[in-house]
Amino acid sequence: MIVTEIFRSIQGESTHAGLPCIFVRLTGCNLRCTWCDTAYAFHGGTKMSIEEIFSRVDDLSSVAKEEEFAKATSARAISLVELTGGEPLLQPDAIPLAKKLLDAGYTVLIETSGERSIAELPREVIKIVDVKCPDSGEADTFRMDNLNAISDQDEIKFVISSRRDYEFARDFVRQHGLARRVHQVIFSPVHADPEGTWPGMSSRDVSEWILADGLPVRLGLQLHKFIWHPATRGV
């Protein structure tokens, strides 16, 4: 597998936001969203085996093993792992890696663009699946058969950068009854690029639109970008 970085941080998105998490960021993506904040993961990376990745995750999960509570309980300090990218499902070994982590007792999230099939992933993997809105520049890339592969523990995310994006997401949610099919639907306003490449979307505007339309969705802010500088890597 080709890996851009493996690190521990605070989960910044999804319904797991705020929890300590270990991230495995795989290299490569076949989409080019206008507001992409991880373009550094498109190329490069380090070749690692599944065993090497697992060993690194296990090391990071045990950062507190010398503390008294860990000695007493033999518990992992961190048991949440996210596979992300880039697009993690471009690498076929993402699936056996997810299985190995599950078998070891980790809770596994995978964040994917929605353009790749999620059908072969173990059901126990919590899938956070994007549906690309028009202003992403990658509209119509969502695989509609993924709607048949999601479960009530999974999440669907829309990144919102305009009123047009919001209306697209609102209509998609209603048309496909997403609120009844997944654990959570998330509307995530685009965070402004610190270098000015793209503007931010007002979270207040998105909140007021959600309330005005009575949508059963969650406003999702990228928590890590409020904790650290938005351009910081490895967080």
pLDDT digits (tens, 9 = 90+) for 67-97: 545 554 556 788 999 999 999 999 999 999 9
Q: In which band, very low, low, confident or very high, does the pLDDT at 234 lie, cut at 50, 70 and 90?
A: confident
Percent of the chain with pLDDT over 90: 85
pLDDT of amino acid 66? 52
Could you write out the three-class secondary structure of the chain?
CEEEEEEEEECCCCCCCCCEEEEEEECCCCCCCCCCCCHHHCCCCEECCHHHHHHHHHHHHCCCCCCHHHHHHCCCCCCEEEEECCCHHHCCCHHHHHHHHHHCCCEEEEEECCCCCCCCCCCCCEEEEECCCHHHCCCCCCCHHHHHCCCCCCEEEEEECCHHHHHHHHHHHHHCCHHHHCCEEEEEECCCCCCCCCCCCCHHHHHHHHHHHCCCCEECCCCHHHHCCCCCCCC
For the chain, list the domains and their CATH numbers: 2-227 (3.20.20.70)
Per-residue pLDDT band at 181 (split at 50, 70, 90) = very high
Label residue 177 exposed, middle or buried (CB < 10 Å: 0-12, 13-18, 19+): exposed
The model's pTM: 0.92
pLDDT confidence tier of residue 170, bands split at 50, 70 and 90: very high
pLDDT tens digits along 115-162:
999 999 999 999 999 999 999 999 999 999 999 999 999 999 999 999
pLDDT at 228: 87
